[in-house]
Amino acid sequence: MSAPAIETSGLTKRFRSGQVAVDGVDLAVPHGAVYGFLGPNGSGKTTTIRMLLGLVSPTAGSARLLGQPMPGDALEVLPRVGALVEGPAFHPYLSGRANLARLDACDSTASRSSSPRRIGEALERVGLTAAARKPYRQYSLGMKQRLGLAAALLRPRDLLVLDEPTNGLDPQGTREVRHLIRELAAEGATVLVSSHLLAEIEQVCTHIGIMSQGRLLAQSERAALVADDAATLVVTTGLDHVTTAAEVLRGLGLEPITAEGTHLSASLGATAPSQVAAALVHAGVAVDGLEVRRRSLEQLFVELTGEGFDVAR
């Protein structure tokens, strides 16, 4: 098996004040994944990203991008990496197009002859073609964020690291960024998306890592984190059938069972809901309702941290 696109071991950042912003993080982002780096503001996501890109030195631990150590091999690996880090900075008096041209000219590995075409394509992909000649200082927050995305897309990248890419965007812009991320992944890029918005992560990511207070609490494929073994089955029946229904569920190994009036709840595990329904009917239970409640990312986060979370913009 090839090495992950992003791999860290014990990555730690302790500031002079004594604050530990990142505490022993072991990231593993597979090639081709859209990895949602999830956590509330202040959880250590941006500091982790800055260490990955060589912008901040770790106190301890190591990081590798595309199989190469960072920051030791930064000159070799960073041309293959596109990044949008919190608060992209541009020259306020230059237009969006001129800013991108200036950035592209600084890249010694980029072709000068293809620069105008690549800049035009990047602006088009983020919806800034009409505003390309407008001075950056006149851009809205959402337009500035789009220009930061365009800068990350000036060349084909093997890895894209996007820190809060929908910050400042309206709902339409947010949908466009989601579509763009899916496109980039379909083209073969690995994408790490940092966000504090559960809804955004849930819709676009194949893998998820959950951060809180500088620690990585869980990481896995998205489907595995909210797998069926964490689902709850809720059966609704008549009061005179509650006891029989409980016996049926217990016989199928669905425990523990809780009963509230005419509603019985049990952990579903690997049992198919259709199997439960058939067993209840066979036992003569009148099934008024059968519902499978699957654990959401929000529920998982609360279970892991005991904290609330932003579920929408």
CA distance 293 to 308: 20
Verify that 75 and 172 share a domain, yes or no. Answer: yes
pLDDT of residue 228: 47
Verify that 240 and 181 share a domain, yes or no. Answer: no
- Which pLDDT tens digit goes with each residue over 251-285? 999 888 999 999 999 988 778 889 999 999 999 99
Verify that 193 and 254 share a domain, yes or no. Answer: no
Cα distances (Å, whole numbers) of residue 90 to 75, 136, 187, 301, 306: 22, 7, 28, 36, 39
Residue 43 domain-assigned (yes or no): yes
- Given a contact cutoff of 8 angstroms between Cβ atoms, the answer to whether 292 and 232 are in contact is yes
Residue 309 domain-assigned (yes or no): no
Verify that 158 and 285 share a domain, yes or no. Answer: no
CATH number where 107 lies: 3.40.50.300
Residue 85 domain-assigned (yes or no): yes
Residue 1 domain-assigned (yes or no): no
Verify that 37 and 142 share a domain, yes or no. Answer: yes
Cα distances (Å, whole numbers) of residue 233 to 146, 250, 270: 43, 12, 11
**Is a pLDDT exceeding 60 seen at residue 312?**
no
Verify that 134 and 275 share a domain, yes or no. Answer: no
Residue 170 domain-assigned (yes or no): yes
Closest CA to 296 of 166, 175, 198: 198
Provide the greatest CA pair distance for the chain.
80
Verify that 38 and 184 share a domain, yes or no. Answer: yes
Two tokens, residue 292: 């499978």
Verify that 11 and 146 share a domain, yes or no. Answer: yes
CB neighbourhood size of 97 (10 A): 21
CA distance 194 to 101: 27
Verify that 142 and 259 share a domain, yes or no. Answer: no
pLDDT of residue 41: 81
State how many domains the chain has: 2
- Which pLDDT tens digit goes with each residue over 198-235? 777 778 899 999 998 999 998 999 877 766 456 788 99
Q: Is 182 left (phi over 0), alpha (psi -120 to 50) or beta?
A: alpha
Residue 74 domain-assigned (yes or no): yes
Verify that 29 and 130 share a domain, yes or no. Answer: yes
Phi, psi of 215 (to 5 degrees): -115, 145
CA distance 212 to 152: 27
| Mean pLDDT to the nearest integer, 277-295 | 90
Verify that 119 and 238 share a domain, yes or no. Answer: no
pLDDT of residue 307: 61
Verify that 20 and 104 share a domain, yes or no. Answer: yes
CATH number where 238 lies: 3.30.70
Nearby residues of 307 by Cβ (< 8 Å), 6 or more positions away: 40, 212, 301
Quote the domain boundaries for residue 78: 6-222
| Amino acid (one-letter) located at 175 | R
